[in-house]
Amino acid sequence: MVDLKQLARRIFHETLAAINIPLTMQRNLLHEGSLLRCGALSIDLSQFTKVRVVAVGKAAHAMLDGLRVSLPRDVSFAGIASAPVAPANPHPDIQYFVGGHPIPNEDSWNAAKAILEMLSACDNQTLVFFLLSGGGSALVELPLDPLLTLADMQQIHRVLIGCGAPIEAINTVRKHISAVKGGRLATAANLATKITLAVSDVPAGKEWALASGPTLPDPTRLSDMEKVLDEYALRDKFPDAFHRWVARSALTETPKAGDPAFENAHFSILLGLDNLFHPAHGAAEGAGCITCCDNATDDWSVERAAEYLLAQLEELHVNNPRRCVAVIADGEVSSPITGNGIGGRNAAFVLSCVEKIAGKNIVVLSAGTDGIDGNSPAAGAVADGETLARAHALGLDPRNAFQRSDAYTFFNRLDDAIISGPTGNNLRDLRVLIAAPDAEAFSGEI
């Protein structure tokens, strides 16, 4: 019989290996002489006296590498980068910060100050590249109200990520209290020509949610923020400094479409949903699985997503009983923090499947392509039909672990945590569900 857990891990790692950010940038940024092309956009680099770069996100270092090899050799740039880890090969003239994630730290704060200072010196002869990827909301942060401290902003971020709201709602709040989100980096470089290149971990059509949309017009309004605060009962959990700011009626609206800062701004997605689905689908089919991709569960609760995807897997199995079948899903599921344990939404999703697949020849894997799952050192976890029995033999209770938000500890004890370390990438979370054929034979190779 095929080892389904080994197969699921192999699909995940083959998918990661297929995502090459520097090579993708080389393919998308083409130059002939001083003329730089990115899709339909053509820019004459000779028109600018200086080039500046802001690289923010989990893929910041790889994107900087890609930009360096994509630009003509005689074009130099300086700038600022904030990522969760220090660069292995730092670029000269780049000031690096190791920002906090998922909670901003002092480097997140200092990076925001440095970026705003640099952008304030940009004029109409400046070209600014914004290299954005997931995680940017925490890696660069500064409040609009100078009376809010780093500790205040850390408390706000902590409350938001633990409240169970979808990322779109969380970012609606973040954008309205931050000096660097919701289009405000574009307005900070008002006169400059701005090119944003993105490695996206958000759904298509919601690009303004990536890193809380620092260079795009914000479609949400203060009234939307108020609704989020009420719906998720957040007001009493926010710091007093926030309430004093609201009481002064000092909150201002985010920049909208039509703002002059966006007239000379361009946005391009380099890697997105398709770049995750295609290699994952290919890896699963290459192993002999009949495979379907499903992205319907984005922002669903882990329980609802688990029920839905397992039902999809069962239907695929019923229609192909003598073949190994797989369902590939992406996106972020919602898992409110209800305890003080270690873990994240990926391990929580797998944990919610443990009892549902007990005794069945099914495996479930969920992992972040960034290699990070919540506050754990893992990317996610994997489970199969024997996981529940193995857990009980060790005195582990999946329901109790779920309630304590301690999914990582549960799977680490079983040696089923997926630990890759930071990957330098961040498209979306990847879920792989596989059911073995009814017959003993398996048509692929392991």
pLDDT in tens, 390-440: 999 999 999 999 999 999 999 999 999 999 988 888 788 999 999 999 854
- Say which residue, 364 or 19, is predicted with more confidence: 364
Q: Round the average pLDDT of the chain to a whole number and report it.
A: 92
User: What is the dihedral angle through the alpha carbons of 339, 342, 346, 352, rounded to the nearest 10 degrees?
Assistant: -50
- What's the pLDDT score for residue 2? 64
Tell me the average pLDDT across 318-333.
Answer: 94
- What's the pLDDT score for residue 439? 58
Q: Is the pLDDT of residue 111 over 90?
A: yes
- What's the pLDDT score for residue 295? 87
Q: Is the pLDDT of residue 147 over 60?
A: yes
Please report, rounded to a whole number, the percentage of residues in the chain having pLDDT higher than 70: 98
- What's the pLDDT score for residue 440? 45
Tell me the average pLDDT across 366-392.
Answer: 95
Q: Is the pLDDT of residue 444 over 70?
A: no
- What's the pLDDT score for residue 225? 96
Tell me the average pLDDT across 127-140.
Answer: 94
- The 3-class SS string of the chain reads CCCHHHHHHHHHHHHHHCCCHHHHHHHHEEEECCEEEECCEEEEHHHCCEEEEEEECCCHHHHHHHHHHHCCCCCCCEEEEEECCCCCCCCCCEEEEECCCCCCCHHHHHHHHHHHHHHHCCCCCEEEEEEEECCHHHHCCCECCCCCCHHHHHHHHHHHHCCCCCHHHHHHHHHHHECCCCCHHHHHCCCCEEEEEEECCCCCCCHHHHHHCCCCCCCCCHHHHHHHHHHCCCHHHCCHHHHHHHHCCCCCCCCCCCCHHHCCEEEEEEECHHHHHHHHHHHHHHCCCEEEEECCCCCCEHHHHHHHHHHHHHHHHHHCCCCCEEEEEECCCECCCCCCCCCCHHHHHHHHHCCCCCCCCEEEEEEECCCCCCCCCCCEEEEECCHHHHHHHCCCCHHHHHHCCCHHHHHHHCCCEECCCCCCCCCCEEEEEEECCCCCCCCCCC
Q: Residue 53's closest CA among 216, 238, 221, 185?
A: 185
Q: Is the pLDDT of residue 443 over 70?
A: no
Given pLDDT bands bounded at 50, 70 and 90, which one contains residue 445? very low
* Domains, the chain, ordered by start: 4-11+274-435 (3.40.1480.10), 33-271 (3.40.50.10180)
Query: In terms of pTM, does the model score above 0.95?
Result: no
- Say which residue, 205 or 287, is predicted with more confidence: 287
Cross-strand bridge partners of residue 432: 328, 365
- What's the pLDDT score for residue 166? 84
- What's the pLDDT score for residue 250? 78
pLDDT in tens, 70-106: 999 899 999 999 999 999 999 999 999 999 988 999 9
Given pLDDT bands bounded at 50, 70 and 90, which one contains residue 446? very low
- What's the pLDDT score for residue 441? 36
For β-strands 193-199 and 126-133, DSSP reports them as: parallel
Given pLDDT bands bounded at 50, 70 and 90, which one contains residue 200? confident
Tell me the average pLDDT across 7-11.
Answer: 96
Q: Is the pLDDT of residue 335 over 60?
A: yes
- What's the pLDDT score for residue 298? 85
- What's the pLDDT score for residue 210? 87
Q: Is the pLDDT of residue 6 over 80?
A: yes
- Distances from the Cα of 178 to the Cαs of 15, 151, 227, 275, 438, in angstroms? 35, 14, 18, 31, 54
- Say which residue, 365 or 334, is predicted with more confidence: 365
